[in-house]
Amino acid sequence: MTIIDRLRMILERVNLTPGNFADKIGVAPATISHILSGRNKYPSAEVMLRLHETYPDIDLNWLLTGEGTLIKDDPDSMFTGSLFGDNLINATKSAAEAENRKENTLETANNVDNPVVKQEIIYKEKPTRKIAEIRIFFDDGTYETFTPSK
């Protein structure tokens, strides 16, 4: 898995488009676009630092090397190790625990009347505008002015 693949995983996790992600971390959208398209093989140190400042829970070691988990010190991380490795471990819950879960009932929402917000719209009439003059500029640097007759 390349650093570009790991960056795509982060985009999926934060549920942002590349442009919105770039805005969020404070870099130009073209920067993220160039990284994802493969034009720039590796993100710059500035991109990595801004990503880390915005998302401090993302493990930079994982992002740079692929070792560890996406979220640092996250025992509930979905995968540990390589995605296609021999020792893929699902660290969340075992199958037996998943089958014996209890369902929690949802509380009914209290129907509370929200106060009605009234807004007053004031329309102001603007005076009618009249054409004062029209100028036509020619390619030889001259122009003509036309004024309406009253």
Task: Please write down the HEC assignment for all residues of 99-147.
Answer: HCCCCCCCCCCCCCCCCCCCCCCCCCCCCCCCCCCEEEECCCCCEEEEC
Q: DSSP class of residue 89?
A: E
**How far is the C-alpha of 121 from the C-alpha of 150, rounded, in Å?**
37
Of the pLDDT bands very low, low, confident and very high (cuts 50, 70, 90), residue 95 is very low
> What are the residue ranges spanned by the domains of the chain?
3-92
Mean pLDDT of 65-73: 80
Q: Quick one: which of 57, 1, 53 has its CA closest to 27?
A: 53
Of the chain, the percentage scoring pLDDT greater than 90 comes to: 11
Of the pLDDT bands very low, low, confident and very high (cuts 50, 70, 90), residue 143 is very high
Of the pLDDT bands very low, low, confident and very high (cuts 50, 70, 90), residue 71 is confident
Residue 83, pLDDT > 60, answer no
User: pTM value?
Assistant: 0.47
Amino acid at 88: L
Q: Domain 3-92 adopts which CATH fold? A: 434 Repressor (Amino-terminal Domain) (1.10.260)
Least confident of 8-22, 51-65, 107-121: 107-121
